[in-house]
Amino acid sequence: MINQNKEEIIVIASDESDSEVEVIGYTFGYNAKGKQVDSETPYDRMENLSLELGMVTVDNAAAQSSLVTGGTRRYTREEKGKANVVDESWLSLKAIDSDLLTDYYESIRSTEPTEDIEAGTWQPAASDARSDLAERALRQADQALRIREASTQESWREAAKRFARANDPNQNNRNKSSSQKQGSPTSRAVEQLGKSPGPFSEALKMVRERTSKRAVQQLIEWKPSEEKQNQNITTPFAPSLLDVSLKALAENAEGIVSLELVPDNLRRRLTDMLCDMRKMNLNVLNLLLQGCPTEIRIKNCSWLTDEQFQQTFRNCQTKDLRVLQLDLCGQCMLDFAFRDALTHSSDSLSRLAIVSLRGACRLSDSGLKDLVMSARALQSINLGHCTLLTCDAINIIAESLGSNLRELYIDDCQKINAMLILPAFKKFKHLEVLSVAGIQTISDQFVSEIITVCGQSIKELDLADCLALTDCSLKTIGSNCADLCALNIANLHNLTDLGLEYLANGCKSIQKLKLCRNGFSDEAMAAFLECSGESLMELLLNNMTKVGPNTALSLAKHSRKLLSLDISWCRRITNEALGLIVDSCSSLKLLKVFGCRQITNVSLNGHSNPFVRIIGLNLTPILDHVNLLEPEEVLLRYSPLTMSQEVWNKEIC
């Protein structure tokens, strides 16, 4: 006889299921094969038993009855499987009513075999009550699982609030209200695009009429040249003899013994090659400093240490030095290096007019003060990415140089507050080039104040990544900068087509324009090119997703002087549009098509321009074309070097 009803948990993991399957069978004193077992698990210990009811899957009613009543049955292969357990905390008994489970266990314990088991006539008794309890338990488990999932998702949301940075709607409202006070164009003003009198309105009207007469796909009429279809687009251009010679010198730089009679432009090209090859070293620097050099240009000084700087520059004759470029000199403590080099002679940098210390991350305000006080003839200063400089550095430059300064680059100097340097900028009355890209404190008010002071002389502006700027800034630029030659307004998401209208009506001599990652429409861009495209020589439309056939057609008609064009990631430029641009712009030398998967050999091989170099394709070199459009010798970008009265007096004496 069996003294006590016992239970056994049979866990079968499925081979084909995507979720954990546990089959729980109850045999009252017998296992799945009908043999006696000596399990002593008490029924009143519910906390030691996890039914995992939330994951039970039953194919039919017979199978469910077998599970509940403990009858023996053979499991098919489909019912067996293996899977990963997800989160066992969701399947615990804490979410199920304990009273319901207690009643369920009591009904199981009260079940006795109706026939003699040893005689082999035992059959499981029908128990509708137990089936109802099982169904209720399953429904309860399913409901508990849903509640647990909902609470888990809510806890995830609460946890995300501690790590995510949400935009403050009140701050956005304040920004909008302040922009409206400053005259920012509203949505109603954007709807009035092209309705104000001016050349842009006429051009936009013509573009819209042209589009309405024909379908967008039919605007471009171009056919590839059949005789050039079989040409290889990756055929390299033959380098000049000078390029081959400079490359040979760079590859064998350890054998160079002197550079005294080499012109400055060739010295620059040689050092650029050495920096690209990572072969620039102390030996080449000593060759550049021999005699009385007039230019020292090194675009990558990341290898230069404090000791090497002091060793080479201490005995250098710098009385004739006009250009000093030591970019990326991050290892040098320039504060002490300049102080040590300038102690030997107070007039050692009297003729220095151009200095570039871009990326000098250890240059402070005091070190810059020592340099500026010793070089009173400075007309161009490049301090981009000098992260230690503050507003005091701009005040020092303004007090020492004032109206003599022509070019100032302070892009990505994040410690400089734009609104605090406004008084100093009012002293730069003849400033021609200004780069403040990446400074987040640049606002429409700053642009308005600066353009009011030096708008008549400004030739180049770099406002890229100044995210707070709106169409108000472009309106100010268009109204006051008639002689603007270069403008970089890349990655300014607050600009609209109305800003292009302001530029087109006011700035008609722009030669270099960067509009990367802006949301200007295809029609507005085409209208701008109709008005101001004739003077363009370099145009960057990188990642302007709305640019399409209208822009391509206007480029082909009006931008005949174009030398460089970047349409990377402009997926609406078709083969026909690209072929028309390349064939029509006969002066085009450089074309970038990175990410343009829609461009095929039809246009790349079918155009008739023999001088264009297309980069961005598979197996095409990139670094060979970096300096393709750079002029041979550049001092100041837009004006000749002038000698200050103080320097003239010293020369006469």
CA distances from 601 to 292, 535, 553, 559, 587 (A): 53, 30, 20, 24, 21
What is the band of 627 on the pLDDT scale with cuts at 50, 70, 90?
low
pLDDT score for 473? 95
pLDDT in tens, 164-186: 554 554 544 544 444 444 444 44
What is the pairing mode between strands 564-566 and 590-592?
A: parallel
| pLDDT, mean of residues 425-433 | 92
Residues 440 and 469: their CA atoms lie apart, in Å, by: 10
pLDDT score for 524? 94
What is the band of 94 on the pLDDT scale with cuts at 50, 70, 90?
very low
pLDDT in tens, 101-116: 555 555 545 544 544 4
3-state SS record for 576-605: HHHHHHHHHCCCCCEEECCCCCCCCHHHHC
- Whether the predicted pLDDT of 234 surpasses 60: no
Q: Which of 235-244, 281-290, 482-491 has the lowest mean pLDDT?
A: 235-244
Q: Pick 65 or 249 by higher pLDDT.
A: 249
pLDDT in tens, 536-550: 999 999 999 999 999
DSSP state of 126: P
Q: Which of 16-25, 402-411, 518-527, 634-643 has the lowest mean pLDDT?
A: 16-25
- Whether the predicted pLDDT of 446 surpasses 90: yes
97, 140 contact by CB (below 8 A): yes
Task: Find which of 20-34, 74-88, 400-414 is predicted with most confidence, using mean pLDDT.
Answer: 400-414
* Residues β-bridged to residue 566: 540, 592
pLDDT score for 542? 95
* Residues β-bridged to residue 486: 460, 512
438, 465 contact by CB (below 8 A): yes
Q: Give, for 409, the enclosing helix (H) or strand (E).
A: strand 407-409
3-state SS record for 266-304: HHHHHHHHHHHCCCCCHHHHHHHCCCCCCEEEECCCCCC
Q: Pick 214 or 458 by higher pLDDT.
A: 458
pTM of the model: 0.70
What is the band of 232 on the pLDDT scale with cuts at 50, 70, 90?
low
pLDDT score for 13? 46
Residue that the structure tokens 């194919």 belong to: 59
Burial 269-291 (b: 16+ CB within 10 A, else e): bbbbbbbeeeebeeebbebbbee
Residues 575 and 571: their CA atoms lie apart, in Å, by: 11
Q: Pick 26 or 552 by higher pLDDT.
A: 552
pLDDT score for 148? 82
Name, in order, each residue with C-beta under 8 angstroms of 143's C-beta and a sequence gap of 6 or more.
none
Burial of residue 15, with CB atoms counted within 10 A of its CB: 0-12 exposed, 13-18 middle, 19 or more buried: exposed
Q: Which of 271-275, 316-320, 490-494, 625-629 has the lowest mean pLDDT?
A: 625-629
What is the band of 405 on the pLDDT scale with cuts at 50, 70, 90?
very high
Q: Pick 217 or 622 by higher pLDDT.
A: 622
Question: With left for phi above 0 and alpha for psi between -120 and 50, is residue 26 left, alpha or beta?
Answer: beta
